Structure 1
Amino acid sequence: MDKEAFTAVRLRKFVCEEGKSQSFLWDSAAPGLGLRATAKGAKTFIFQAKLNGQAIRLTIGSPNTWTIPQAQAEARRLKVLIDNGQDPRKLRAAVIEAELQERVAEEAAAAAKQAQEQREALTLGKLWPVYIEARRNAKRRGGKVGWSEWHIRDHEVVMRIGGEPKKRGKGLTEPGPLASLRDVRLVDLTGPRIAEWLAKETVKRPTQAGLAFRLLSVFMNWCAANDKYAGLVPVGACQSNQVRDEIPRSKAKTNDSLQREQLAAWFKAVRGMSNTVQSAYLQALLLTGARRRELAGLCWDDVDFKWLSLVIRDKVEGQRTIPLCPYVAHLLAALPRRNAFVFSSPSSENGQLAEPTPGHKRVLAVAGLPNVTLHGLRRSFGSLAEWVEMPAGVVAQVMEHKPSATAEKHYRERPLDLLRMWHTKFEQWILSEAGIEFTPAPAGSVTLRVVAS
């Protein structure tokens, strides 16, 4: 091979011979260094030598990137490796592999850092709807699925932004207790931060603040148990001493139930209501001990007039079956059957009785009675049941209260007939105290009143 000294001018003038795909120019200073020129005009520094009797060729780089001294130094380095019996190709492959692994590791570290930054940027307001949807259809012990719509609504209300027109009444909705924490990152939900929030909310609305704190505490436990969000919420934030000092102390509500001597006035005012659906609903609340939303959601398919039972969709066990006593059966049978709901309303969005509280307040005013909430009617069931000496376990089973003793929890399973005996006795006593004369219809003779919607 003819060799000559590499100069910038010589390299610039060197071109591929006509009729060939590539031509080579060899350097006289650095053994094995050459310049390859292709028919398309590309030029590249190369190194060529023999290893174990076989010719090998490696690409060094473009003259636009490598200077002549740099290319000569690289050629000499490669020549030393070959003289030592080493294959530069394998060494280069190892270097490339190491660089590739390093680059992959750097990219993985960068991706992990970005993912962690995105995780840490998660706010309470962003993850709250995700949490609700995850729990909506989650399977629970006993084969039950997800939260009830009431429980979901509680979670939505405590987080609502507010400022929207009220569906009932005038004005705008208020922000929920957790609204002020919507934009707070989960990593910033420390004990002091939660204690500060709880102190402010407790002053304005202690009951709602207490509910919001309980929901927040369960949410944070869910985050800690979820691999995707584990480690974001500070450990023990809701159990810190600062938070415990600010938790509103729950007090048993007093004077929120009807007394025996108030029954006559209350029933007279309720039975005199022009809205028969509300009238029946309020009386059924007192006589069944059901929660207000449980009873409002009662459907005709849940009522068995033949075997005198009601299926109540509750927030604790999913559903329970209680007796349908004669007077309540009489009230329900007289109601218009407009749609699937027993306590229906032609004007509400979902077709069921929407807000009976204003009507009940008018009843109390007419009867000259102090304020009793709708939940107070449920309390009244529990307290008035003592007048007929109804066993506490029967009261708890009808109202769906948690058993208060081991025997009740594990060894008492009362049949519906036994519940009906006590429940009917209670209903008869209530009617007697209210001065209502009622003759029960023969079993199985109750008919429904069908009214077109």
Structure 2
Amino acid sequence: MPKISKRLVESAITKPNDYVIWDDDLPGFGLRVFASGKRSYVIQYRSNGSSRRFTIGLHGIWTPETARREAKAQLGRVAQGDDPAEEKLEDRNAMTIKELCERYIGDLHAGLIQGKRGRPKKPATITTDIGRINGHIIPVLGKKRVRDLSKADVTKMMNDILIGKTRAVRKTKNLRGKSILRGGPGAASRTVGLLGGILTYANDAGIVDRNVAHGIKKPKDQVRNRRLSTAEYREMGEALRRAATDPDLAMMTDIVRQIALTGCRRSEIIGLRWSDVDLSNSCVSGAPVTLPGRSSMAGVHRSGIVCG
């Protein structure tokens, strides 16, 4: 058998079928000549009683000298009990962050992902989570393999969101609907938290054995702690009464009034149904609400209210 050299590689003729030229100096090292004319370097070895072939790479990217050194290294690993071909297959089939997110979204829709209270996440929360997954996580980390993800990768994603690299406007399934991704500290912090939840899900499923999103120092969101004064609440009430005389604004004024009286979120009031309301007990979805007097709305009390 000849020794694989540059001259041999370039002079090897093509045949109707692929064939291998084996090296005479290094047993198991060979040159595969494809019917298309391409050439690649390979090793052949036995593992657990089976013959295995491992492709080092194409000629041009690899030279005979560099391929020979790699062949020696891989055959040395085989002698120690490793199986390079099996490891390469596992790497090729390794789950990516995008694939993990798609599996997570499927379980979200199936009601298998629990929220903070141990209940399936609400539709509005699912929509928000999917928006962050498709808008921030997948664009930055989607192609990365889950098992290769590091704290540095998560930190980079967070910083990209923080400075607005993932800022975008995307169409939604709703007619003329759109999703606006602005980035910033709040989006960065909450997206890292969501990724941490996805990796906890992956850990529970045996996909990873650690959660690299835990312990990441997240930016603080702007905390809104200013409340309207009694005079400002009174002024808002007067404005709502004036607006209520306009039929086109009637629903809007009802929504704003209920938000002020109950402390519910805007989406909770907009999606509120009569089946969620218990007028006889002054409850919304079973949560008691103490309403203030008409003269002032400053004493609004919300006790564990869950709307919609």
After TM superposition, the score normalised by the length of structure 1 is 0.39
Q: Give the structure with the higher percent strand.
A: 2
Aligned to 1:300: 274
Q: Distance in 2 between matches of 1:213 and 1:326?
A: 39
Deviations 1:112-134 (A, max 9, x none): 647622442x2222221211222
Q: Is the 8 A contact 1:178 1:212 kept in 2?
A: no
Instruction: For residue 126 of structure 1, give the secondary structure of its aligned residue in structure 2.
Output: helix
Structure 2 match to 1:230: 208
- Alpha-carbon shift at residue 287 of structure 1 (Å): 0.3
User: 1:415-430 to 2 correspondence within 5 Å?
Assistant: none
* 1:21-420 aligned within 5 A: 102-103=49-50, 113=87, 116-120=90-94, 122-135=95-108, 136-138=110-112, 145-160=119-134, 175-176=135-136, 179-204=139-164, 205-227=184-206, 229-231=207-209, 235-239=210-214, 243-244=216-217, 247-255=218-226, 257-273=227-243, 274=246, 275-311=249-285, 320-323=286-289, 384-385=298-299, 395-398=302-305
Code of the aligned partner of 1:157:
G
Segments of 5+ residues of structure 1 without an aligned counterpart are 1-98, 161-174, 312-319, 329-380, 401-453
**Structure 2, unaligned runs of 5 or more:** 1-45, 54-82, 165-183
| CA distance in structure 2 between the aligned counterparts of 1:305 and 1:181, rounded to whole angstroms | 49
Q: Could you say if the C-alpha distance between residues 103 and 250 of structure 1 is closer, same or farther in structure 2, counting changes exceeding 3 Å?
A: same
The Cα shift of 1:271 comes to 2.8
Shift of 1:102: 2.7
Deviation of 1:296 (Å):
1.8
Structure showing greater Rg: 1
2:260 is aligned with what amino acid? L
Provide the alpha-carbon RMSD of the alignment. 3.8
Distance 1:285 1:251 in 2: 21
Higher relative contact order (CA 8 A, sep 6+): 1
Q: Hey, what does 1:63 align to over in structure 2? A: none
Show structure 1 runs of 4+ deviating over 4 A.
109-115, 139-145, 324-328
Deviation at 1:306? 4.0
Aligned residues: 207
Structure 1 equivalent of residue 172 of structure 2: none
TM-score normalised according to structure 2 size: 0.55
Q: What is the rounded CA distance, in whole Å, between the counterparts of 2:139 and 2:242 in structure 1?
A: 42
Distance 1:225 1:258 in 2: 45
The percentage of counterpart residues that share the same residue type is 15
- Partners of 2:261 and 2:84 in 1: how far apart? 65
Query: Any idea what SS the aligned residue of 1:238 has?
Result: coil
* Local SS of the residue matching 2:121: coil
Identify which range, 264-273 or 274-283, moves more after superposition: 264-273
